[in-house]
Structures are given as C-alpha cells and as structure tokens.
C-alpha cells in the first residue's frame, strides 16, 4: 500500500470499512449510487465565483476560466432539464461568454466571490497567520479541520516566486479544502510584488497580502517586512499596494499585515494610507515594529496591545476590515480579542502551533487526556503530510510535532528521538509509543541518563538561538564602527553553498585560502558542517541548514 493510500485510510476510515460480499451486479449498482451521492454533495458555484473547465469555451478542449455572472432556473418543459435545472452564464477570461448547465463538464471551483471572502473576514473570522516554515498546506488543513476558516501561506519572497518555478510549486500548494486562501508576499519592488500577486491570483488565491510585520533578521537584511514601515519608505509602500490592486483581478482581495508604529497616530495614519492605496483588509499585530535599537531583530517582548487595535478599528470604522493579531493562545482569548477590539477577525500563530484545534475549544482538564488529544492532533498532522507533503522537509515536520505534543514528548523523554528521526514514519513511531504510555498499553520506565541528555540538548538549542543573536549584534556593531549600513555584514554570506561550490572548496588544499573563499560567500554558514562534520552540533552559532530555521518559525 502506498503512503498516500495509507494516509487516506487513516483520514477517511469510513470509506475503507469492510462490507459483506454481494453479487457482482449489486456491487456495481452500489458503486454507482455512491458516486452519484458524492457528485450531488459537491457545492455548486454562486454568482461571482470563478470556475475552470476543459471545453468551457466552445470548440476548444483547453481549460478555460470564467466568472459566473448569472444563474437562472431552466423551464420545466426544457428538453435538457434532465441535464440540470440551473443555467449558468459565464463571462470567459479573454472575452466571450457561455451559457451552460455545467453537468456535462468536469468543472472545478477556482475562487469564491470576493464579497463572500470579505464577509467571512468581517464576521469573526478565525485565521491561521502566515508563518515561515509553519503554515504549509498540511498544517493549514489541520487547523481548518479544527475551527479555522481562513489561512495565509508562509511568507513568499515575491521575486523568487516569479523566477523560481520549483520554489513556486513547492511552497504555493493549494487544495479544494484550503479555501479561502491568502497568498502572503514580501518584497520592496512594486512591479515585482504586483506581478507575483497576479500570478498567485491566477493559481487560485482568494486574496493577496503584503508583509509589513516580519521582524526577523532576514527581513532587515532584505529591507522588507516591518522595516518598510519607516516614514521614509511610506511612498514606496503605497506604490506596492497600488500595484497589488492594479495587477490583480477585482475579485481578489488586497490585504496588508502590519505592526503597531511607535505612536498611535502614526499607526492610524499608516492604516489610512494603506486603505487609500487599495488595501481592503489590514491585519494588525498588537506589538510595535522591531528595530535594531529595540533588542535587535525579532523583538516581540510583552503582551500585545489589543486596546491600540480597538482604537484603530474605531477610527476607521467599516472603511477597511481590521484583523486582530496577538495574545491568542486559546479559544477564550480569541473570543476576548474579538470582543475587545471589535475587529472583523482574529489571527493566531504561536497559539495554533501549540494547539491547531485552538479555535475549537477542545482543551481537556485531565492531564493525561490532554496529552492524548495533542498526540492525536500530531498524528493527524502526519497523515496530512503523507498526503500532501511538507516542502520544508523533516525539520519542519518535527518542529510541528514537537510544538503540538511537547508535554507528552517531554514526559516520556522522546523529544530527542523525534528531532533526530529521518522521516514521517519514525516520527509516527515515536508519537505512537507516547500514546501507548498514556493509555497504559506500555509501561514507561524513566531513564536518568536519557533525561539528562534531553535536558542538555534543550540547553544546547537555547544556546544556539542566543549565539545567533550575539552574532547578529556583533555584525551590527562592526558595521556601525566602520560607518556602513547597519545591515551590511548581516547581508554578507547568506548564500547557501551549492554542490559545485563545495567541490571547488574541497579542491583548495591551503586551509587559510579555503576559509577565505568560504567567508567571501558563505560566512554565516558552518564550513565544518558542509565540508565534514561539526562537533558543536546544535550549539553551533553558524547555519547548518538554510532551508528552515526553527527560530524563524513564527508569525510575520
């Protein structure tokens, strides 16, 4: 059985239930009935929806897209009434129109009407925040199964989205159950961001979003995220939002995600500028934008200021949809945020990483039952990974399982085994064993040496994050002493070495010359890790893997 079939069996056990053998003819009839039932359950398109189908344009078998502009019921005496009692008028992309009942076409829904999306965002939407390496398709689907009804993609670099087809395919995954979906971009060039939004809309995004909230060092180095919120960049930001609105179809909603400015009037002015430039939704993180002079990149100390979000909402009214972001660790806090801020929707990142069923309010008071609930969620996530993959690889998969089932993994000293595992099957084995300990199917015997090792590994991981911060601080101070831009050295050596780079470096016999060549392009990466092995392991201050950093798996 393939991994996909195995995942499907776990996700849909009813569809694989054994049935008593019947006569061949009866089997055929039963199968036909089931197929008919599934077809009838499919949602029909509404006015404003965008659909796609082969043969939608008469005389052309290629797939075409169009917007449903009118629906009427067929006359009772219509000879074609058996093919459906609804006639759809569809305005085709590129010109022309078509009237059809759709029943004879293998159509699919590409995008719901904008009005429906905006109504969702205004009506207490429960939103999965954009998370680098954290809000991939499998995790979004898990959250949607447990109460979320809107989700953002991970942060996508606009230029890479346009230029790298493999990157686009890997990181912009869509699914019929992953609707509505917001494509979340970072960038500082209006033309490039606008073009990326246009492409995302073509691929089925219901909305496009500009990141003005990311506080990470990569955002500072690339001059995007919260570092575009400075007043001197305001005209650039407005130009980007105008390009997003201009380059995407009118049914695609334009969103922007921001943080609080240093003063309330400045925050309100930013929201109004974004609205006047074409933004229809502004997600406001209730913490101030990061600066290098406020504890460095990634600064997000203290609770979010929800009252500041409320003041913005009161000032702008219904002229733009405000989404509250911050201080949402459980369902009760989500409801409190909506009540306090009067925002249209509420967004969570860290809270959902710890509990993907946060919006469902399913927390158990019994410790053991709560552990079992979290393990079940982690196993369900692995089933979705089997079916849909995770473009960031096993490190991201293990990260999710660690966050979801942390209490059980810590209690049974299984965290290191999970993190060191090579694949999904190994992760599932670890979680299943934890589940058996919880249910009493297996007896857990504490291993003092194993517990001490786990404690040491946890301390090493903490030192890694602290070492990275110190490294960034040194680079900033060095640039300041030399009169260079503060991000000058932070930008140096970010490129991950390619196989060709490594072959060339290995061919350099002189150690000093090899190190100089390495520092010229890859100084932020660990040369020992890439050329042989790094004895420091998790405590190394240099990058071992540039694909996903666990420290960066947070909301933008």
Indicate which residues carry an active-site annotation: 214
Contact (Cβ atoms closer than 8 angstroms) between residue 351 and residue 328: yes
With H, G, I as helix, E, B as strand and everything else as coil, classify residue 553. Answer: coil
User: Among residues 161, 156, 238, 232, which one has the least CA distance to residue 195?
Assistant: 161
Contact (Cβ atoms closer than 8 angstroms) between residue 68 and residue 17: no
DSSP of 217-282, one letter per residue?
HHHHHHT-GGGG-SGGGHHHHHHHHHHHHHHS-TTSEEEEEEEE-SSHHHHHHHHHHHHHHT-SEE
Q: CA 154 to CA 553: how far, in whole Å?
A: 10
The partner residues of 53 in beta bridges, in order of sequence, read 64
Distant-in-sequence, close-in-space partners of 418: CB < 8 Å, separation ≥ 6: 398, 401, 402, 409, 427, 430, 431
Q: CA 348 to CA 126: how far, in whole Å?
A: 8
Nearest 10 degrees: CA dihedral of 164, 165, 167, 170?
A: 180
Q: CA 142 to CA 139: how far, in whole Å?
A: 5
Distant-in-sequence, close-in-space partners of 140: CB < 8 Å, separation ≥ 6: 128, 148, 151, 178, 181
Contact (Cβ atoms closer than 8 angstroms) between residue 156 and residue 179: no
């Amino acid at each position: 059985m393939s991994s996909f079939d195995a995942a499907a069996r776990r996700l849909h056990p009813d569809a694989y239930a054994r049935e008593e053998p019947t006569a061949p003819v009866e089997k055929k009839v039963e199968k036909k009935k089931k197929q008919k039932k599934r077809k009838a359950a499919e949602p029909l398109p509404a006015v404003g929806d965008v659909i796609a189908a082969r043969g939608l344009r008469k005389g052309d078998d290629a797939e075409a897209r169009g917007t449903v502009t009118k629906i009427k019921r067929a006359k009772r005496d219509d000879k074609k009434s058996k093919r459906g009692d609804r006639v759809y008028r569809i305005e085709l992309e590129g010109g022309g129109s078509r009237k059809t009942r759709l029943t004879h076409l293998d159509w699919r829904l590409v995008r719901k009407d904008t009005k429906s999306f905006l109504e969702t965002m205004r009506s207490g939407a429960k939103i999965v925040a954009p998370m680098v390496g954290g809000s991939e398709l499998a995790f979004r689907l898990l959250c949607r199964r447990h109460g979320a009804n809107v989700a953002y993609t991970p942060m996508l670099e606009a230029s890479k989205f346009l230029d790298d087809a493999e990157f686009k395919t890997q990181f912009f995954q869509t699914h019929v159950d992953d609707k509505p979906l917001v494509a979340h971009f970072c960038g500082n060039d209006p033309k490039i961001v606008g073009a990326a939004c246009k492409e995302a809309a073509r691929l089925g995004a219901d909305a496009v979003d500009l990141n003005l909230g990311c506080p990470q060092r990569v955002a500072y180095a690339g001059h995007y995220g919260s570092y575009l919120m400075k007043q001197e960049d305001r005209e650039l930001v407005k130009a980007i939002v105008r390009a997003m609105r201009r380059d995407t179809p009118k049914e695609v909603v334009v969103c922007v995600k921001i943080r609080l400015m240093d003063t309330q009037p400045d925050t309100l002015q930013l929201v109004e500028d974004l609205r006047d430039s074409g933004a229809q939704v502004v997600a406001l993180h209730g913490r101030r934008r990061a600066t290098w002079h406020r504890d460095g990149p990634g600064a997000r100390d203290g609770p979010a200021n929800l009252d500041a979000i409320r003041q913005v909402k009161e000032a702008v009214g219904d002229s733009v949809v405000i989404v509250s972001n911050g201080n949402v660790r459980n369902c009760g806090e989500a409801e409190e945020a909506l009540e306090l801020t009067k925002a249209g929707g509420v967004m969570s990142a860290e809270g959902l990483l710890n509990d993907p069923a946060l919006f469902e309010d399913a927390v158990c008071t019994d410790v053991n039952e709560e552990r079992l609930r979290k393990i079940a969620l982690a196993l369900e996530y692995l089933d979705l990974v089997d079916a849909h993959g995770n473009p960031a690889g096993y490190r991201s998969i293990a990260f999710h399982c660690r966050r979801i089932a942390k209490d059980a993994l810590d209690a049974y000293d299984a965290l290191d085994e999970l993190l060191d595992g090579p694949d999904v099957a190994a992760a599932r084995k670890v979680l299943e064993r934890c589940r058996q300990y919880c249910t009493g199917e297996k007896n857990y015997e504490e291993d003092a040496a194993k517990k001490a090792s786990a404690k040491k590994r946890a301390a090493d991981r903490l030192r890694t994050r602290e070492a990275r911060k110190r490294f960034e601080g040194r680079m900033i101070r060095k640039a300041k002493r030399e009169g260079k831009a503060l991000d000058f050295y932070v930008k140096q050596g970010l490129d991950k070495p390619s196989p060709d780079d490594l072959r060339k470096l290995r061919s350099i016999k002189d150690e000093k010359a090899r190190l100089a060549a390495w520092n010229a392009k890859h100084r932020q990466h660990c040369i020992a890790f890439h050329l042989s092995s790094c004895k420091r392991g998790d405590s190394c201050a240099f990058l071992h893997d540039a694909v996903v950093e666990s420290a960066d798996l947070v909301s933008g």
